[in-house]
Chain A
Amino acid sequence: MQPSIPSDLDTGPRRAPRAGGSAASRWAHVALAPMAVTAIVAYLGAALWTLRVSLSSSRSLPKWDFVGLAQYARLFHNDRWLLSLENLALYGLLFVLACLVIGFLLAVLIDRQVAGEGVLRAVFLYPYAMSFIATGLVWQWLLNPELGIQSAVRSWGLRGFRFDWIVDPDRAIYTIVIATVWQASGFVMVVLLAGLRRVDPELWNAARLDGIPTWRVYVSVILPLLGYSFATAFVALLAAAVKLFDAVVAMTQGGPGIASEVPAKFIMDHLFGRANIALASAGSTVMLLTVVTLLAPVLYARSRARRVPS
C-alpha cells in the first residue's frame, strides 16, 4: 500500500507506459479522462480564475480590470494578514509535531496489545469523526475562565489557579493547538497503527533474541520502517493546518482582538463579509504558493528516492 497523495502525483510520464500500442493502456487513458478534465477545469481553472481576480480591483463582484500587484502590496501591509501568517507558522509547527508524537505514542500503546484495544481505538478516533463546529464550542466553554476548568478548579478550593489562555491574546493560539491536536491525533494513530501492523513479526523475534530493549527497537528499527505512514500523516496534517478555519471560528473567532486570526479566516472574511474578493483572491494565491513551495521539496525527494532503486 502506498500513501495516497504522493502516489497520485507520482504517475508522471516516467510511469506511463510509453509503448503506445497496448489497447489496455488506451482504455485506461479513456477511463481516466473525465477525472483529468475535472481536475484541469475545476482545480486549475479555479486557481487561474483566482489569480486573475487577484490582479483586478474587484469588490463584491468580479471586475476584469488590471491593477497589477496592488492587492498583494496591500495584503503585505495588512497587520492582520501578517499576524495570520505568523500564527499559521507557529500553529502548523506545533500542531503537526504534537499530532505525530502523540499519534505515534497512542499507536504504540495499542500495538503493545493492551486490553480493550477496540474500545481504545474507537475512543481515540472518535474526536476525528465529529464536526469541529460542535466540539469547538465545548472547548470554548471548557477553556472559558468564568465557566470552565479555571472556575471549576477554583471552586474546589485552589483559589489562585489560573488557566485563562483563551482570553489572553498572547496564548489564545495555543488553545487552538490543544483542541485540534486532541481532534487529529486519533487519525494519526490509525495511520501509524496500520503501518505498525505490517512490520514483520520476525523483526521482533530477532530483537528479542539479541536482548534489545523494546523502546530501542521502536526508535531505531520501527520508526524508519514507518516512513511512508509518517509521510501520509504529515501531508494530511499539513493540509489540515493550512486550511485551519472551523476551530478558530468556533473557539475564538480570531480573538481576543486579532490574536488568533489565521489566513483561511482572513480570506473567508474578505470574500463575503468585507466584499473584497480581489484581496481575498490575493490571499488565496499566496496560500497556494506557500503550500506548493512547502510540498514540492518533499515530493521531489520522494520521487527521487523511488527512482534510484529501479
Chain B
Amino acid sequence: MMRNLAVSFLALGANAAVVAPPPTVEVIHWWTSGGESAAIKSFADAYRAAGGVWHDSAIAGSEQARAVAISRILGGDPPSAALFNASKQFLDLVDQGLLNSVDEVASRQGWDQVLPESILSAVRIRGHYYAAPVDIHMPTWIWYSKAAFRKAGIAGEPATFPELLAALEKLKAASLIPLAQGGQAWQESVVFRAVLANVGGRDLYLSVFRDRDPRALKSDALRNVLLNFKRLQSYVDDGSPGRNWNDATALLITGRAGVQIMGDWVKAEFAAAHQVAGRDYGCIAGFGAHSPYIVQGDVLVFPKTANPDGVRAQQLLARVVTEPRAQVAFSQLKGSIPIRSDVDASQLDICARQGLAILRDRTRQVGNDEIYLTPDQNGALADLLSEYWNRNLPVETVQGKFAAALSE
C-alpha cells in the first residue's frame, strides 16, 4: 500500500517536471457590451497565443465587478487579476498588502518612459508597480453630428468655447436639440470637466483637482467655469434627465441633436451605426493648441498569491496586455487609445490618432478627477454638480459647497 502511494507520488512529480501546467488566469472585469467584450477577447486571444489559459469572469456593472473582486480578495479566494479604474480605488488594497506588484514587467518594458504621467502616478505606489494599465480614454471629447451642423447652417468646426456656444444657439434656432445630454450625475460631471479644462485651462484644472488649492477653489476663474457649465444646461431637451449616454449618442447618429460631450467610448456606437469619424461626425479633443487632454484609464490589478505558478501567470498577463501590438488591437475595438506612445498608430481612426498625437505632448496631459480625488470626494462633487445642473442655485452657494466637498 505504502509503496503504491509512493510510486504514484513519484509519478505525479515526474509528470509535473515534464509538462509544467500552463499559466492560468481568471480575470474579473465589467466589459460586457458588444465592443467591450470584443476588446477584452482580443486580450484573451493574445494571452492564449502566449501559451496561457484565460478564464473570463465578466460581471455587468463596474461597481458590482469591483465589489465582487474585493469581497473575493478579502474572502481568501482571489481572482488572478481584476479590472479597476486607474485611480485611488485600489489604494486600500495596496496599503493592506493584498496586491502583488509587477515591478519586473514594468522595468523590462520601461513603463517610466512610455506611460503618461497620470497613469504612472496611479499604478506606481511608493516605487512599486501594483497595476498594469490597459487603456486610455479621454472623457471630455466634444462630438458633433455633421448632418445636424449642415441643417443648422454651421459652416466650420467650433475652434473656441464661445464658438461652441454660438453653434449651440444656431442648432437651437434650427429646432434641433443643441446638446444631447444624458441627465445622470456622472455625465453631468463629464460636462463640468470639459468646461473646467477648456474654459478654466490646465492650471486651474490641476489646482482644483490635484492641489485642491483653497485660493483656486474661491477664485473668480472657477466661478466663471461654474457659470459656463450651468449655461450649457439651457441647451438640453426635456427628455434629458435619466437618459443613458448611448441614447444621447443615438440622437447625434439620427441627426436630431448637434453636440454631445462624452468619452471616446461613444465611437463604438457610431461604428455600430456604420458612421465614420470625419465623414458623418466630428470630434474635438479641446479648444486651442494647449488644451489639456484628460487621461482616464483602466488597469488590471493582481491580488496577492503565494503560489509561484499563480505569480508567473500574473506576470505573463501584465506583459501580454501592455505589449504594443495587443494595445493597438484592443484600442481599435474599445475606442480607447493605447497606453504607450511607441505604437503604430496608422491603423487607428482619426480621432484616436489626434488623441495620441496630443498625448505625446506631456504638458497637455492631466489626470481624470478620480486620479486625484477619493471615490468619496468625487461622489460628493458629482452630487453637487448634478444638483446645480438641475436646479437654480446661486453660484456662490455652489462654489462654497464645492470646496467643502473636496475637503472631506
* CB closest residue in chain B, given A151: B239
B77 within 8 A of A: no
Interface of B is mostly: helix
In the bound complex, residues from chain B placing their C-beta under 8 Å from that of A79 are 383, 387, 401
A59 contacts which of B92, B380, B390 (Cβ < 8 Å)? B92
A208 within 8 A of B: no
B389 within 8 A of A: yes
Q: Interface centre among B237, B242, B375, by most A CB within 10 Å?
A: B242
Question: Once the chains are docked, how many angstroms separate the CA of A168 from the CA of B386?
Answer: 13
In the bound complex, residues from chain A placing their C-beta under 8 Å from that of B241 are 166-167, 172, 252, 255-256
In the bound complex, residues from chain B placing their C-beta under 8 Å from that of A252 are 241-242
Interface of A is mostly: loop
* CB closest residue in chain B, given A250: B242
Q: Is the CB of B67 within 8 A of A272?
A: yes
* CB closest residue in chain A, given B386: A257
Residues of B within 8 A of A (CB): 63-64, 66-67, 70, 74, 89, 92-93, 96, 183-185, 237-242, 374-376, 378-380, 383, 386-391, 401, 408
Q: Is the CB of B391 within 8 A of A257?
A: yes
In the bound complex, residues from chain A placing their C-beta under 8 Å from that of B374 are 59, 275
**Could you pull out 5 A-B pairs where Cβ atoms are within 8 angstroms?**
A61-B92, A147-B239, A255-B184, A257-B389, A275-B92
Q: Is the CB of A255 within 8 A of B185?
A: yes
A256 CB to closest chain B CB (Å) equals 4
Question: Once the chains are docked, how many angstroms separate the CA of A74 from the CA of B377?
Answer: 13
Question: Once the chains are docked, how many angstroms separate the CA of A254 from the CA of B378?
Answer: 17
Question: Once the chains are docked, how many angstroms separate the CA of A269 from the CA of B389?
Answer: 20
Q: Is the CB of A258 within 8 A of B383?
A: yes
In the bound complex, residues from chain B placing their C-beta under 8 Å from that of A144 are 239, 242
Question: Once the chains are docked, how many angstroms separate the CA of A251 from the CA of B183?
Answer: 12
In the bound complex, residues from chain A placing their C-beta under 8 Å from that of B240 are 167
Question: Once the chains are docked, how many angstroms separate the CA of A144 from the CA of B63?
Answer: 27
A53 CB to closest chain B CB (Å) equals 13
Q: Interface 1/0s, chain A 249-285, versus B by CB < 8 A?
A: 0011111111100000000011011111001000000
In the bound complex, residues from chain B placing their C-beta under 8 Å from that of A251 are 242
Q: Is the CB of A167 within 8 A of B242?
A: yes
Q: Is the CB of A164 within 8 A of B238?
A: yes
Q: Interface centre among A145, A172, A257, A276, by most B CB within 10 Å?
A: A257
* CB closest residue in chain B, given A60: B92
In the bound complex, residues from chain B placing their C-beta under 8 Å from that of A254 are 185
Residues of A within 8 A of B (CB): 59-61, 74, 78-80, 140, 144-147, 164, 166-167, 169, 172, 251-259, 269-270, 272-276, 279
Question: Once the chains are docked, how many angstroms separate the CA of A269 from the CA of B183?
Answer: 18
Q: Is the CB of A61 within 8 A of B242?
A: no
Q: Is the CB of B390 within 8 A of A274?
A: no
* CB closest residue in chain A, given B67: A272
Given A61-B70, A255-B386, 6 new contacts (CB under 8 A): A60-B375, A252-B241, A256-B242, A257-B390, A258-B185, A270-B379
B72 CB to closest chain A CB (Å) equals 13
Q: Is the CB of B238 within 8 A of A275?
A: no
Closest 10 pairs between A and B when the two form their complex, measured CB to CB: A146-B239, A257-B390, A256-B390, A256-B241, A274-B379, A257-B387, A167-B241, A60-B92, A275-B375, A276-B376
Q: Is the CB of B390 within 8 A of A275?
A: no
Question: Once the chains are docked, how many angstroms separate the CA of A258 from the CA of B389?
Answer: 10
Q: Is the CB of A270 within 8 A of B376?
A: yes
In the bound complex, residues from chain A placing their C-beta under 8 Å from that of B391 are 169, 256-257, 259
